[in-house]
Amino acid sequence: MYANGTIPQLAQVDGFNVTTNTSTVSQAYQFNLPSPAVIMKYVGIASTDAFTDPLGMAQNTSSQALSDGWTTLLNDHVQGWEALWTSADIEVLDDEEVQLSARSALYHLWTNVRSGYEQPGIGDTSIAPSGLTSDSYAGQVDLTNVLS
């Protein structure tokens, strides 16, 4: 939605930057913006390891995210990280560089592993793009259900 309250007209574009991989779901839209805009995309991810209807679960999850809104999702994310940081920390007195490295290591471990108390198939793996092998994706992983 534009700042003035108008909604851009979107037209779905089949085959435009959309993968043909049948194990993924994708969408593409092409539209022109008359001025800078903020675009939010809510995505649900569900695996056949945990759900009998992963597509339905993913659709429900993204719909719920849209319903909850950006502020609620961001607050849940922040609370999840605060819970992790208050549960454990490493303090290195008189050596800020070592402390930063230790905290960085904690951050990368937390972004790549789950708490394990979720139902089977959910807490078994993380969805971080590069796993424990790299920090190239800046730890992009969902922590919104840490407090649930």
The DSSP output letter for 93 is T
Angle 58-73-109 from CA coordinates, rounded to 5°:
85
- State the average pLDDT for the chain: 74
Q: Among 49-53, 102-106, 142-146, whose mean pLDDT is lowest?
A: 142-146
Residue 59 has pLDDT above 80, yes or no: yes
Q: Tell me the pLDDT band of 87, cut-offs 50, 70 and 90.
A: confident
CA 4 to mean position of chain CA atoms = 29
Instruction: Give the chain's radius of gyration (CA, Å).
Output: 19
Output the 3-class SS for 59-84: HHHHHHHHHHCHHHHHHHHHHHHHHH
Q: Which tens digit of pLDDT belongs to each residue from 6-44?
A: 666 656 556 555 556 666 666 677 777 878 888 888 888
3-state secondary structure of 11: strand
3-state secondary structure of 22: coil
Residue type for position 97: E
Q: Are 126 and 141 in contact (CB under 8 A)?
A: yes
Q: Tell me the pLDDT band of 93, cut-offs 50, 70 and 90.
A: very high
Q: List all residues 6 or more positions away from 108 whose beta carbon is below 8 Å from its beta carbon.
A: 132, 135, 139
Helices 54-68 + 70-87 axis angle, to 10: 100
With CA atoms as reference, report the closest residue to 128 among 137, 119, 118: 137
